[in-house]
Amino acid sequence: MTAETTEQPHPAAAELASLRKAIDAIDHDMVALLKERQEQVDRVVALKRTHGLPVYHPAREENLISEKRRTARAVGLDPDFLEDIFRRILRQSRVEQTAQLARRGVKPGARILLVGGAGAMGRYLGRWLTDAGYRIRVLDREDWDAVQTLCEDIELALLSVPIASAPEVIQRLAPHLPPDCILGDIASVKAAPMAAMLDAHPGPVIGLHPLFGPATTTMDKQVVITSPGRRAPQCQWLLDQFTAWGAIVVQADPAEHDKAMAVIQALRHFATFSFGKFLFERQIALDQTLEYSSPIYRLELGMVGRLFAQDPTLYSEIILASPERRQLMRDYLASLQDSLALIETGDKAAFETHFQTIADWFDPFSDQALRETTFLIDKLIERF
């Protein structure tokens, strides 16, 4: 005869269920508070729309984050944890504000000609401008027979054309522009297009370089570099429009811009291309490397994959934009050859000496680099 047994509930089961119920109630209240916060954000949006105020207020955000970190310490919470939560809330708030304010034109009804407007970036800007109430016309390769009509009474002609063809396009376009029309471009090099625009058009001239692509869903905190050319006050409304969309506008001299972008874009993209090319030539099993990888390698390989997932024309234009950029690539390859010669000696002490010399040069940036990359790595681990 077997004794019938029944499983007894754990002594803590009732208390655990009660605690979980309390946590669920707190979670419900948190969602309700976030909804209430969003309603207040909507009121802020209405006020900003009425008075033409910018979305992003850096000082207020940083003051708020500092306050929340102090509060976290006072109540025994991890300050980094609370900062992470509030930065996500603030970003969502900015994105919501930008989405609503995107339809507010600084100069609504202005007639704008997008030259190369059928391209990816031209279509992207066209959508934003149209939503903000501007009247958009497009001049593309097949439209030059109608150039005079398309230019009639326009207040801005904005070029979104390949870098190599920009000078020729400017020369063809300029004679048809109204005298007070703004002529601008969005190329990733500035010196040559700016010189061509200033030479061809006597009216207002401005150079722009949006540091984002057409896949960007929000302009929140995206950077737009501007190079003033002529009659800057007449061009200000265009910069104000990007600011209204949430972008950060940074002014730069064309020559200084091009020197910086040779490293920031051309050299970086070339190095990424070269790494990807080497992996392809060796037929490296990417899935296997990811299986064994550290988060840092996954992040680096992700940047390689991101480059090769995009339009090759974009990168050929950036990397091969000028003789100076091609010389920079040669200098980079020469530096790699020097590094290889150092490796081939097998002299660990010499390598470590070189390493330390470079580390000393990087030292002012090192703490920031560690902090930012640690943040990215932690986020990657959380997500994947």
- Per residue of the chain (384 residues), give pLDDT as tens: 455 556 677 878 888 889 999 999 999 999 999 999 888 888 887 787 677 676 666 667 788 888 889 999 999 999 888 888 888 888 887 777 766 655 678 899 999 999 999 999 999 999 999 999 999 999 999 999 999 999 999 999 999 999 889 999 999 999 999 999 999 999 999 999 999 999 999 999 999 999 998 888 888 889 999 999 999 999 999 999 998 888 899 999 999 999 999 999 999 999 999 999 999 999 999 999 988 888 889 989 999 999 999 889 889 989 998 899 999 999 999 999 999 999 999 999 999 999 999 999 999 999 888 888 888 888 777 766
4 lies in some domain: no
Q: Exposed e or buried b for every residue in 45-72, given b needs 16+ CB within 10 A?
A: beebeeeeebbbeeeebeeebeebbeeb
In the three-class reduction of DSSP (H, G, I as helix; E, B as strand; rest coil), residue 207 is classed as: strand
* pLDDT tens readout for residues 132-158: 999 999 999 999 999 999 999 999 999
- Indicate the residue among 209, 232, 252 that finishes a domain: 252
Q: What residues contact 286, with CB distance under 8 A and at least 6 apart? A: 279, 301
Q: Are residues 137 and 198 in the same domain?
A: yes
Question: How many other CB atoms are there within 10 angstroms of residue 101's CB atom?
Answer: 19
Domain boundaries, position 90: 21-101
Query: Scanning the structure block, which residue is given the tokens 């061009």?
Result: 235
Domain boundary among 53, 71, 101: 101
209 in the same domain as 115: yes
- Of 358, 276, 146, nearest to 138 by C-alpha is 146
The CATH number of whichever domain residue 240 belongs to comes to 3.40.50.720
126 and 212 together in one domain: yes
Opening angle at CA 320, ends 147 and 186, nearest 5: 40
In terms of domains, do 117 and 49 share one?
no
Final residue in a domain of this structure, among 252, 273, 293 = 252
Beta strands in 163-274 (DSSP E): 182-185, 205-210, 223-230, 248-251
CA distances to 57, 164, 213, 258, 306 from 315, in Å: 34, 13, 12, 16, 12
Q: List the beta bridge partners of residue 248.
A: 223
Residues across the chain? 384
The answer to the question of residue 285 being in a domain is: yes
Contact call for residues 238 and 184 (beta carbons, < 8 A): yes
C-alpha closest to that of 224 among 211, 240, 241: 211
pLDDT of 52 reads 65
pLDDT at 357: 97
Tell me the residue ranges of DSSP E strands in 68-117: 111-115
First to last CA, the chain: 54
Instruction: Return the SS3 of 292.
Output: coil
Amino acid 85 reads I
147-160 b/e (C-beta count within 10 Å ≥ 16 → b): beebbeebbbbbbb
Continuous segment of H or E residues that includes residue 139: strand 135-139
Domain contains 247 = yes
Q: Are residues 248 and 262 in the same domain?
A: no
C-alpha–C-alpha distance, residues 313 and 316, integer Å:
5
Same domain, 116 and 248: yes
Residue 215 lies in a domain: yes
Instruction: Note the maximum CA span of the chain.
Output: 107
Q: Determine the residue type at 1.
A: M
Beta carbons within 10 angstroms of residue 248's beta carbon:
17
d(CA 330, CA 286) in angstroms, rounded, equals: 29
Q: Do 265 and 247 share a structural domain? A: no
Is 172 part of any domain? yes
The answer to whether residues 120 and 225 belong to one domain is yes
CA distance 350 to 124: 51
pTM for the model stands at: 0.74
Distance (Å, rounded) from C-alpha 159 to C-alpha 229? 15
Residue 185 belongs to a domain: yes
**Number of structural domains, the chain?**
3
pLDDT digits (tens, 9 = 90+) for 168-179: 999 999 999 999
What pLDDT, on a 0 to 100 scale, did the predictor assign at position 55?
64
Three-state DSSP state, 159: strand
User: Is the same domain home to 236 and 369?
Assistant: no
How far is Cα 261 from Cα 190, in angstroms, rounded to an integer?
Answer: 10
In this structure, what token pair is assigned to residue 358? 């470079």
Q: Is residue 166 part of a domain?
A: yes
Q: Are 136 and 236 in the same domain? A: yes
- Quick one: 121 and 97 in the same domain? no
Instruction: Say whether both 244 and 173 belong to one domain.
Output: yes
Q: For residue 184, is it within any domain?
A: yes
Backbone torsions φ then ψ of 95, nearest 5 degrees = -60, -40
